[in-house]
Structure 1
Amino acid sequence: MNSPDYTPACLTLARLSARLGADPLLIQGAGGNTSIKEGRTLWVKASGLWLRDALARPMFAPVDLAEVRRRVAGGEADPVGPALQAGRAAPGLRPSIETTLHALMPHAVVLHVHAVEAIAWAVQPDAEQRLRMPLAGQRWAWVPYARPGLPLTRAVATVMARHEVDVLLLANHGLVVGGATPDEAEDRLNHVVAALRRPQRRAPAADLVALRTLAEGTGWALPTHERCHGIATDPAQLAQARAGVLYPDHVVFLGTRQHTAPQRLMHDDTALRQWLQSERQRGEHTPASLALPGRGMLVRDDLGEGAQDMLACLADVLPRLPADMIPVCLPDDEARGLADWEAEKFRRQQVR
């Protein structure tokens, strides 16, 4: 496989990014972003691309670091677009919506991941206090939830004005680490994720043959990742999934709530099939996924790889939560706002 025409620093970052992007416990679909500062230039992952492809296609957009920082300090609505070094950028690359966050961090290398282990802490009540023990010894800070992009950057700036940090835990979002080199940043990331590791509950198995027979001809299918069925077969996971949206990327790919088939139909497959066919005919209002309580999950038969990966992320997060805990969810108006946000619509369009 031929690498894109990267600078040596970008090539090192690309190798690291490809490793991170291949691990679904760190990165799901087009989520997450990485960057490296090289002189006056900040090379940052482009929006909508998959980090796993960093060695296969141009991935990083160059922006003028000082210009981004100046425009952020000046309160400009778009501090990144005018700072893009267009003559050095591959055609069509649009810097990540998190570019301002990468510019704000003082580290040469910044890694922003949606690590499952971090999210499983970041959606818990009193998470900041709970995190003190596992993160003892790290220079870290808790960042209250803010919408990705400039609002999150401003929230991080407020925190960083009080603390010198290498690690940020973002409420209802994920994890950011910085380092002087790619190796240092990766090593720090690995140490933090290991410290945050949580036990997983086992979910009852789904009857895949019965589910496949039920879905046939209805416009629904089984999810790509078998572990997704635990969302429906484990009553605790289902209750937590139905509580609301846990993190922004869920909204982008799966919608603002978890849809569930009526319990009264769970023992009448004929009626359930009719209901499934009717739900599938709702066009753009058809949900991405359906939980069949006690039986398993179904997804639209045209669901893309990014959405499949995001459903698997939820299936990885939920069994790491205490069974009796109701997670902290995004407010309903924030979830709806994310669904209609222009920056996220652009990112959805880039996903295969």
Structure 2
Amino acid sequence: MPPKIKVLHIIKSLGRGGAEMLLPETIKVHDQSRFEFHCIYFLPWKDQMVPAIEKAGGKVTCFSAKNNLTLLFQYPKIVKYCKENNIQLIHAHLPWAGIVARIAGRLAKLPVLYTEHNNFDKYHILTKILSSVTYKFQTKVLAVSEDAKAALERRNLFHDIVYVPNGVNTDFFSKTNHFSQLPEVEGFVGHDKVIGTVAVFRKQKRLDIFIEVAHLAQQQKLPFKFLMVGAGTEMPMIQALVEQYQLNNVMLAGIQENPADFMQYMDVFLITSDFEGLPVALLESMSMEIVPFCTNVGGIPNVVNDNRNGVLLKSNQPAEILSQLETQVLNEITNFESLKKQARNTVVADYSIQRMVNQLETIYTEVLQHER
């Protein structure tokens, strides 16, 4: 049997973001008789996914860094790690990890793949500059959405860009699965329809709009409950608005080890973001027959076909969003049930984790064959 191909994933942190949570899921599905996976991250306080990666068979190392700039100076450690562990290929995720991976890869004379999870145009100016300078040091870019791919092509930064959409475990994320029952959530939900989200609470998510929709729903006494799973820098703002409006139709569940336990109660997955890549939580929710109501940004319209398997919001105005929810969730019940089924069918057909892993393994193999 030939020796295993050793792949090193490099990522800024291992918190509960979409890119981070994909690592253990893909490693579990990969052919580990052919591939061996290592992972380096830099923010030691964001380590929630470490046990899952190790359980899946990955080897995890933290090169501690306090911020983005100190992260860049970890490149000598990465080069040394690659040599000591006979790494053959580096696969980086998210901008600053991509920058340091390209530097280390060039010095270690290794091919570097980089997954572009977002629209390059949305990055901070310093991130854009350093990414642009180092982009030529990589071998191939894997874009999770057509939007991300198009943004790079417009800038003429790099030419070998492949569309590799995210995938999810459709067997696990299924209404037929047996999830843990949560009496507190069941008591909160009652017989109302549940509008939910699972996210890292960043500014781009525009969760203030989510809360404003909940506020209007409470004022109009509509049978909606709003369930928010996650945390982040926007949490104080969200908590302040919930208190200001005295909202009793919103539950802030915080960070959860098993978000699917909460997702089982959701009828609608509401995304109000200003920009996105291809949210893994969106695919997970659709796989669970939760109907997506989303802003028409990033990779979302690659997945959500308006009124076929979900709803693309006509506006980011809370009153108009609530009007769409009321019409399609409460009044058009037959169509809403059809949207649930079609949401899952879409993910099973085109966005399974197995499809994603097969594509990645093909790319890894082709890149290494070309390097020889």
**TM-score under structure 1 normalisation?**
0.31
**TM-score under structure 2 normalisation?**
0.30
Higher relative contact order (CA 8 A, sep 6+): 1
